[in-house]
Amino acid sequence: MNELIAKAEVLLEALPYIKRFAGRTIVIKYGGAAMLSDELRNGFAEDVVLLKSLGLNPVVVHGGGPQIGEELKRSGIETRFVRGMRVTDKAVMDVVEMVLGGTVNMGIVSMIQGHGGQAIGLSGKDGGLLEAVPMKVVVEGSNEAVDLGQVGEVTRVNPGVLEKFISTDYIPVIAPIGAGSDGLSYNINADLAASHIACALGAAKLMLLTNVEGIRGSDGELSPRVSTPQARAWIDGSTIEGGMIPKVECGLDALAGGVSQVHIIDGRVSHAVLLEIFTNTGVGTELVLDTEDGAS
């Protein structure tokens, strides 16, 4: 009986959040550690299917860096990275499209459908969903921009492509590949793509699944909430560093672009998506705009 009562209490805790987010769009960047084990993959699929069943509108944007790396290695194609981004020539881009738009995307669609959901796999090229231009980065210590090849920066999102699916029972699953006006395909960072898509859809939440618990402050402790000014100060002071910097910046851009809430959560935790949305404490770190609600 105690176990049944505990289950009822969990449902009661979730009820206000179900009401609050019913009919709202939740954009989830899925990748990294959350893809590594059957338990985590199945848990993620169950979470997404449950969200749709409860009246929320999940949109999944996925990565696939490790899978791309494995396929390049098998194909004998060498690549290099600049500031964490893979320099992408035509040979590499062919592999990116095959892996992201094919193997990984279809695998996620099948996984969601295997847990009772209806998913539709899309590339950012479909229907002009993601328009892109070549991204240039300046390496530290140099004033010259480095040509990354077919690595893209999003210039426009066509939300109508997704809105048609969101209004039905389908869960869009998006490979972050953009189309350029030059006729080329562009490899887009999944966090960046998710941020732009969340802004275009006016999403209630953007959730970025990572390989860490969230953002840690200067004291080394996990910060449940971090304001925009605090996040920028921590980046400038190297409290936030490495691969967490572009992830946080994507989140801050999403807030500035009108997304209501941004969460950086640990993809290694089973059912992390449900825990963040439907519990009072949540998991990971929430990024907020104003200083009053942020961490100090």
Mean pLDDT of 196-224: 92
pLDDT at 15: 83
pLDDT at 9: 66
Whether the per-residue pLDDT at 36 is higher than 50: the answer is yes
Whether the per-residue pLDDT at 7 is higher than 60: the answer is no
Report the number of distinct structural domains present in the chain.
1
pTM for the model: 0.92
3-state secondary structure the chain: CHHHHHHHHHHHHHHHHHHHHCCCEEEEEECHHHHCCHHHHHHHHHHHHHHHHCCCEEEEEECCHHHHHHHHHHHCCCCCEECCEECECHHHHHHHHHHHHHHHHHHHHHHHHHCCCEEEEEECCHHHCEEEEEEEEECCCCCCEEEEEEEEEEEEECHHHHHHHHCCCEEEEEECEEECCCCCEEECCHHHHHHHHHHHHCCCEEEEEECCCCCECCCCCECCEEEHHHHHHHHHCCCCCCCHHHHHHHHHHHHHCCCCEEEEEECCCCCHHHHHHHCCCCCCEEEECCCCCCCC
pLDDT-derived band at 6, boundaries 50, 70, 90: low
Mean pLDDT of 283-294: 74
- The residue segments making up the domain with residue 256 are 22-288
Mean pLDDT of 196-202: 97
Q: What is the CATH number of the domain that holds 56?
A: 3.40.1160.10
Q: What is the pLDDT of residues 107-139, one digit of tens each?
A: 999 999 999 999 999 999 999 999 999 998 876
Whether the per-residue pLDDT at 71 is higher than 50: the answer is yes
Q: Could you tell me if residue 10 is inside a domain?
A: no
